[in-house]
């Protein structure tokens, strides 16, 4: 069984404080394959300087729909690396995305204390690929599901 290790989550705030703003608050989640550390940058812009050539980051942002409902939108770049590599990237993202979302939820825990209602809004993740089988939106539950993340 694996568990998110909060000691391995490295957080950086850029031009935001731990509790505001809500809308427009952006997360850039990256990781180190060597140290197993998860990096979460929280700001008003995505931390493009943290994105490496393998494009295995998760980008997320608080948004509001046409009915005034708030949700967390996330994006992963599956890409167009040929059928075998694209399928592999897709499967890795699907498997590892809960850990990335848990890192984001953990990194911004003060924000969720200040806005507890946001723990129960939907998370929509867009998988971006030129291959139709690996391109589309998925509902990944709510942030509250990732407070105590375990993976069997």
Cβ-contact 74, 58 below 8 angstroms:
yes
Q: For residues 70 and 106, give the distance between their C-alpha atoms in angstroms, rounded to a whole number.
A: 19
Whether residue 21 has a cis bond before it, omega within 30° of 0: yes
Q: How far is CA 104 from the centre of its chain?
A: 6
Global pTM reads: 0.94
User: Residue 54's pLDDT is what?
Assistant: 86
Low-confidence ranges of the chain (pLDDT < 50): 1, 152
Residues 6 or more apart from 76 whose CB is under 8 A from it? Answer: 57, 58, 59, 93, 97, 125, 126, 127, 128
Q: Model confidence over 92-133: pLDDT tens digits?
A: 999 999 999 999 999 999 999 999 999 999 999 999 999 999
Q: For residues 129 and 151, give the distance between their C-alpha atoms in angstroms, rounded to a whole number.
A: 26
């Amino acid at each position: 069984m694996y568990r998110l290790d909060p000691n391995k989550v490295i957080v950086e705030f850029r031009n935001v404080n731990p509790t505001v703003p809500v809308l427009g608050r952006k997360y850039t989640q990256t990781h180190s394959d060597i140290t197993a550390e998860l990096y979460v940058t929280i700001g008003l812009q995505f931390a493009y300087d943290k994105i490496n050539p393998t494009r295995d980051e998760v980008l997320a942002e608080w948004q509001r729909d046409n009915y005034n409902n708030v949700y967390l939108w996330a994006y992963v770049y599956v890409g167009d690396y040929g059928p075998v590599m694209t399928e592999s990237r897709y499967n890795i993202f699907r498997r590892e995305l809960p850990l990335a979302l848990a890192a984001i939820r953990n990194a911004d825990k003060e924000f969720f204390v200040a806005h507890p209602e946001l723990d129960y809004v939907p998370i929509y993740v867009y998988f971006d690929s030129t291959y139709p089988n690996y391109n589309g939106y998925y509902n990944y539950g709510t942030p509250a599901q990732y407070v105590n993340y375990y993976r069997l």
